[in-house]
Amino acid sequence: MDTGLLSAMLNSMRRPRSPAYRAARVLILLIVIGSVAGFVVRQMSFIDQQMIYFPERTLSATPADVGLDYEDVFLTASDGVKVHGWFVPGELRTTLLWFHGNAGNIGDRVENLSLLKQRLGVGVFMLDYRGYGRSEGKPSEKGLYLDADAAIGYLANERELSLEDDVVLFGRSLGSAVAVDIAARHQVRAVILESGFPSVRAMTERAYPFLPSAMLLSLVEARYDSASKLPSVHAPVMVLHGDRDQTVSIVMGEELFEAANEPKRFYTISGADHNDTYHVGGEPYFEALREFVLGAGEPSVE
């Protein structure tokens, strides 16, 4: 081949492409990256739905079944999702904003609701997260926080309660992470965390110590990092945990307690597993709650 022709061909191959050509390649690359990222996010969200959230749509009971007066409350979160809850007035102005765990719905907590109202004398607003009970949508970490924002707004604006003086956040299991997130952004009277955990990372590291936590976290979207948020909570904090909890080890509750500011209190529910705390705890359990709620939480450890 003529060496001059070969040189011309090589120069042509090395010639810079036009701006339009380069822009098209960048656009194609961005589309591919976006498609892959979107697929990964959708897969993470799907895994969250299968591994973290276990909602039930049918309400098995209402407060009326245990003789309580109540109001059905429907709220619209800031992203347009409608969520449902029950407001049960108490003898006192103090009101618990109660966040349940990852399974079932508020209908499964009617007995617990009744005992809290009777033993503490407080009002209770119990919320179903999106995807649970009569609430619309599908659960997600961001979504649960938006639902809680709607609930705290309802108590402040519709019920005209002072968050700092009248509202106590009560989070149970997964609900403890929701309560911490709200308390880190709003000054409330007090915060109660029962059977809670420091973060999804801490849970995965304890459940699967032989696997890299980074690999496990890459599979899920939720983080629920309460331990990193608790230093921003300046209300009194009470942590309760069963010493026989086989779902969330009491060590997790102790880590939450360590992350919290003073004043704080740790209460061990002797003999309790994850879902029987108020049954096993009995009268001493409710007395400890009452003392903390009404006394704004003097620091002590039991």
Is residue 173 part of the annotated active site? The answer reads yes
Structural domain boundaries, residue 38 = 3-49
Residue 284: HSE in the Cβ half-sphere, 13 Å Cα cutoff: 11
Whether 37 and 74 map to the same domain: the answer is no
Under 8 Å between Cβ of 172 and 195: yes
Structure tokens at 166: 């009248």
Whether 132 and 162 map to the same domain: the answer is yes
Q: What is the DSSP letter of 25?
A: H
CATH code for the domain in which residue 200 is found: 3.40.50.1820
Under 8 Å between Cβ of 137 and 129: no
Beta strands in 17-143 (DSSP E): 54-55, 71-76, 82-88, 95-99, 103-104, 123-127
Q: What is the C-alpha separation between 195 and 265, in angstroms, rounded?
A: 14
Question: Which comes out higher in pLDDT, residue 27 or 169?
Answer: 169
Question: Which comes out higher in pLDDT, residue 120 or 49?
Answer: 120
Read off the pLDDT band of 295 (50, 70, 90): confident
**Domain C-terminal end among 31, 49, 67:** 49
Whether 121 and 229 map to the same domain: the answer is yes
Q: What is the C-alpha separation between 53 and 220, in angstroms, rounded?
A: 12
Q: pLDDT at position 50, please?
A: 43
Read off the pLDDT band of 211 (50, 70, 90): low
Whether 40 and 135 map to the same domain: the answer is no
- pLDDT one-digit tens code per residue, 102-138: 999 999 999 999 999 999 999 999 999 999 999 999 9
Question: Which comes out higher in pLDDT, residue 245 or 6?
Answer: 245
**Domain C-terminal end among 11, 31, 49:** 49
- According to DSSP, the residues that pair with 242 across neighbouring strands are 269
Q: Choose the catalytic residue: 135, 147, 245, 249.
A: 245
Under 8 Å between Cβ of 257 and 264: yes
- pLDDT one-digit tens code per residue, 68-100: 999 999 999 999 999 999 999 999 999 999 999
Whether 95 and 197 map to the same domain: the answer is yes
- pLDDT one-digit tens code per residue, 102-111: 999 999 999 9
* Mean pLDDT of all residues belonging to the chain: 86
Q: How many domains does the chain have?
A: 2
Q: pLDDT at position 221, please?
A: 82
Average pLDDT over residues 237-251: 97
**Domain C-terminal end among 32, 49, 66:** 49
Whether 42 and 112 map to the same domain: the answer is no
Whether 124 and 31 map to the same domain: the answer is no
CA of residue 244 relative to chain centroid, distance: 23
Is residue 245 part of the annotated active site? The answer reads yes
Q: What is the C-alpha separation between 178 and 274, in angstroms, rounded?
A: 18
Say if residue 298's pLDDT is above 70. Answer: no
Is residue 84 part of the annotated active site? The answer reads no
Whether 190 and 263 map to the same domain: the answer is yes
Q: pLDDT at position 44, please?
A: 41
In percent, the amount of the chain with pLDDT more than 70 equals: 78
Whether 231 and 86 map to the same domain: the answer is yes
Longest dimension (CA), the chain: 101
Q: pLDDT at position 174, please?
A: 97
Lowest mean pLDDT among 33-37, 231-235, 274-278: 33-37
Average pLDDT over residues 165-184: 98
Say if residue 293's pLDDT is above 80. Answer: yes
Q: pLDDT at position 22, please?
A: 54
Whether 141 and 117 map to the same domain: the answer is yes
Q: Choose the catalytic residue: 135, 173, 176, 195.
A: 173
Strand pairing of 54-55 and 71-76? unpaired
Whether 19 and 88 map to the same domain: the answer is no
- pLDDT one-digit tens code per residue, 7-24: 554 454 455 556 555 555
Average pLDDT over residues 134-147: 97
Average pLDDT over residues 39-55: 55
31: CB partners within 8 A, 6+ apart:
none
Beta strands in 134-224 (DSSP E): 167-172, 190-194
DSSP of 164-182: HHHEEEEEETHHHHHHHHH
Q: How many CB atoms lie within 10 A of CB 58?
A: 9
Q: What is the C-alpha separation between 290 and 284, in angstroms, rounded?
A: 10
Q: pLDDT at position 250, please?
A: 97
Whether 147 and 13 map to the same domain: the answer is no
